[in-house]
Structure 1
Amino acid sequence: AASNWDETEVGLYSTGLGFGTRASANMSFADGYYTAANTYAGFSIGRYNVGAEGTSTAWTPADPLFEVGNGTSNANRNNAFTIRKDGRVGIHDATPDYLLDIENPGLSMRSIYVNHDNTASSSTMYGLYVNADNTAANSGASYGAYFDMTNNNDDSYGQYSLAYSDSTDGSPAFAVRSFVDNDNGSGAAYALYGSASGTTTGPKYAGYFSGNVYTTASYLPSDAMLKTAIRPASTSTTDRLLQLPVSEFEYLRSQYAHMNLPGGQHTGLLAQDVEALFPELVHDAVQPATTPEERRDGAPAGEDVHFKAVDYTRLVPHLIKAL
C-alpha cells in the first residue's frame, strides 16, 4: 500500500496498491513499484513512472490520464507509454505533443516497423495509409506524413521504403507513390518535395535514384533574379569541345548490381576525360550500400560506390556557344 495514508499520498476516492505508490490526486489509481498518479482521475502502473504534476482536483486536457512506468529509480523516472486526457499518445515520451509521439531513447531498434503480408489476398495492400484532410477553413500546411531525422553517426532515413512484387499479372510495385490535387487558388502543389543541405563536404541529394527516371517535364532555375555577376561568355569553348573523346561502352552491371546500371551498348563521355577539359561539370557521387532488407534471395551485399558523375545539362551552353 501507499507509504503514508494521508492526503499527500492518497487523494479523495483514490487507491494506491503495490509498494511505495502514491495516488495523491482525487479519483486516481496507482499500482506497482513506486508509481505516482498525481493528476485528477489519473491511472499509473509499472515502476517509477514520471508521475507528472498537474491538476489534482479537476479535469485538465494536457494532464496525463494513463502512465506505464519503466524507470529504474526515483532519480530516473520514465514512461514507456503515456496517454493524455486530450487523447495524445506518447511512446517513451511523457509529454506527447501529437496524436502519436514516439521518442527513441538511443535504442538500436526501429521506432515503427510495419510488416504486412498480403500474399494470400488479391486485395490492395497498404503498409501505411495516411489520409490528411485539410479542406476546412484552415490556412495551415497539411502533411500526410512528416519526417524529421537527425543522426550524427550513421546513415539517416526520414523515410525508408521498399516494395517487392512477385506478381505474375504485370501489376506495378511502388515503394513511394504520391499524388496531390490542389484546388486552393494559385497555391503551389508538390506531390513530392525534397531538400538537401548542410555543412558536410560530401554529396548532398534531394533525390537519388538507382534506375531509370521518367518525367513529362523538367526545369532548372534560370531566372536572372537568382544570379549575380552576369556577363557574356568571354571565350569560345569550341577547341575544348573538339578535344572531348566520344566513346562506346557497356556498363559493369554484374559488378555493380545494386546500382541498377542500364544494359546494352552506350555512346557517351567518360568523366575523367570531361574533368580534364571542363572540371566544373564533374562531381563526386556516392551510391549507398544496400541494406539487409534490400537483399533478396541471398544476393550479395553492395558496398558504397564512390564514382564521378557528369552534369550533361551544363554542357549545353558550351555547345550553343560553339555554334
Structure 2
Amino acid sequence: MGNHAGFSNTTGEKNTFLGYGAGAANTTGHGNVFLGYWAGYNETGSGRLYIHNSGFTSPLIYGDFNLRTIQINGSLNIADASAASDLSFKRDIKPLEGSLEKVTSLKGVSFAWRTDQYPDKGFRDGRQIGLIAQDVEKVLPELVKTDK
C-alpha cells in the first residue's frame, strides 16, 4: 500500500509493503515486511524487516527473520524484560573458571558518543557509563558480537 510500494516485485510472495516506495527494488523476495517511506527500497533479499523513513541512511529498525536478529539504530527504552534462565531449560552446564577475576578485571568507563560521526546510530548526547566492547572481548569473547 502506497505509491511505488513493492513496485518491482514480480514473483515474490507473503510480503508486506506499506509506505511510499517501500520495498521498491525487491523483485523476487518473499516473507519481507517493509514499513515506512522508502523502507527497504534497495533490499532484494527475503525474510527482512525494515521500519524506516528515508530522511536517514540506515533504518530505525532492521531485522532478519531467518537469522532471528534485529538491529535498532537509536535508543531503546524498555519498561520490563526477561530472559529464560531456569535450570530446566539448560544442559551441559559447566562452571566458569576464574569468573570473579574476569568480572573484576573489566573496567567501567564514562564516555561520550561520536554523534557527529555516526548520526544514524541514534546515540544519546552527554556522558554515558559502560564498558568498551574490545575490553570485554579480551576477557569474555563469547559476550561480544561484532559486525562482519
Q: TM-score, normalised by structure 2?
A: 0.57
One-letter code aligned to 2:76:
V
1:244 matched to 2:106 = yes
Task: Identify which of 117, 123, 134 aligns with 1:272.
Answer: 134
Quick one: distance in 1 between partners of 2:142 and 2:103? 14
**Secondary structure of the residue that 1:284 maps to in structure 2?**
coil
Cα pair 2:109 2:131 within 8 Å, conserved:
yes
**More relative contact order in 1 or in 2 (CA 8 Å, sep 6+)?**
2
Provide the C-alpha distance between the structure 2 equivalents of 1:195 and 1:224, rounded to a whole number of angstroms: 29
The correspondence of residues 199-278 of structure 1 with structure 2, limited to 5 A, is: 205=69, 207-231=70-94, 233=95, 235-278=97-140
Structure 1 counterpart of 2:31: 148
The residue that corresponds to 1:34 in the other structure is none
Q: For the Cα contact (< 8 Å) 2:113–2:123, is it kept in 1?
A: yes
Q: Answer whether contact 2:47 2:65 (CA < 8 A) is retained.
A: no
Which aligned segments of 4 or more residues in structure 1 are displaced greater than 4 angstroms?
A: 111-115, 153-159
Separation in 1, partners of 2:11, 2:106: 52
Q: Is structure 2 residue 105 aligned with structure 1 residue 105?
A: no
- Aligned-partner Cα distance in 2 for 1:246–1:277: 14
Structure 1 unaligned runs (5+)?
1-101, 116-146, 165-174, 177-193, 199-203, 286-305, 307-323
User: Map of 1:277-296 to 2, 5 A cutoff?
Assistant: 277-285=139-147
User: Greater helix percent: which structure?
Assistant: 2
Shift in alpha-carbon separation, 1:158–1:229, aligned structure 2, 3 A: closer
Unaligned runs of 5+ in 2: 1-6, 21-29, 33-42, 55-59
CA RMSD of aligned residues (A): 3.8
The structure whose Rg is larger is 1
State the shift of 1:160 in Å: 3.6
Change (3 A) 1:148 1:263: same
SS at match of 2:146: strand
Q: 1:113 to 1:248 in 2, by over 3 A?
A: closer
